[in-house]
Amino acid sequence: MGRAFEYRRAAKEKRWDKMSKVFPKLAKAIQMAAREGGGEPEMNSKLRAAIQNAKAENMPKDNIDNAIKRAIGKDAEAIDEVTFEGKGPHGVLVFIECATDNNNRTVANIKSYFSKAGGGFTPSGSLEFMFARKAVFEFGKVAEIDFEMLELELIDAGLEEIEEHDGQVYVTGNYTAFGSLSSALEDLEVAVKKSSLQRIPTTPVSFSEDQMVEIEKMLDKIEEDDDVQAVYTNIA
């Protein structure tokens, strides 16, 4: 979604009760990563990123360890990654990433959020071209960082953009450069706070304040669902 809208959503997330809203989502991300690539962070870059993001939200170590154990134990839960594409109020386009142990439940819930807002699903794959997949890294701005030097060091690793907002630095590259950028930042001893693969709208659209009230009401319902991991829109 548009960077300005992303900042507004981040501010709203800070007001959420993390124990009830954020931690279960982070735990699912850790479980999926551990199930896919093993429970050793040193050997599993996806798990390292999931743990890093969990620590950034102050998720207790015991919660992180338990999520890994649930993924690699003999009674491990089967959690699948599924995506949904839809159109909401005023034509806003929405791409949703979920992690679920019950696909029928998730489909029914997501469908109801769209329907109640006057929207609905779009054919699978129809919105892929409307979003560019990007690797995004976030870390705090410190005086020791020379931005020009950092940019030069990261270009060969796949850097596309560096920007700063409210004391936070955002490094962006193509999604295929996630591994190389992650390694480069580690080599430069940059203390990355969060890292993720995101979908950025190729053609952001502006909506009026009144329209945004309706749109955000639907988005809040979607994002509060425990199965939802990430929500992307074409909002500017």
Q: Please say if the pLDDT value at position 153 is more than 80.
A: yes
Distances (CA, A) of 8 to 4, 70, 122, 197, 236: 7, 34, 26, 19, 11
Residue 191 lies in a domain: yes
What pLDDT score was predicted for residue 74? 78
Residue 71 lies in a domain: no
Percent with pLDDT over 90 in the chain: 79
Strand pairing of 93-100 and 228-233? antiparallel
Residue 114 lies in a domain: no
Q: Please say if the pLDDT value at position 158 is more than 60.
A: yes
Per the structure, the count of domains in the chain is 1
pLDDT band at 15 (very low <50, low <70, confident <90, very high): very low
Q: Please say if the pLDDT value at position 98 is more than 80.
A: yes
SS3 call for 120:
strand
Q: What is the largest CA-CA distance in the chain?
A: 52
Q: List all residues 6 or more positions away from 226 whose beta carbon is below 8 Å from its beta carbon.
A: 24, 25
Q: Which of 200, 124, 125, 192 is nearest to 160 (CA)?
A: 200
Residue 110 lies in a domain: no
Average pLDDT over residues 190-215: 94
143, burial (CB in 10 Å: exposed 0-12, middle 13-18, buried 19+): exposed
Residue 209 lies in a domain: no
* pLDDT tens digits, one per residue of 31-69: 999 999 999 999 998 999 999 999 998 999 999 999 999
Average pLDDT over residues 117-133: 96
What pLDDT score was predicted for residue 6? 58
pTM above 0.85, yes or no: yes
Residue 170 lies in a domain: yes
Q: Please say if the pLDDT value at position 77 is more than 80.
A: no
DSSP 8-state code for residue 235: B
Average pLDDT over residues 155-175: 94
What whole-number distance in Å separates Cα of residue 82 and Cα of residue 39? 22
CATH code (residue 184): 3.30.70.980
Give the H or E element holding residue 222. helix 209-224
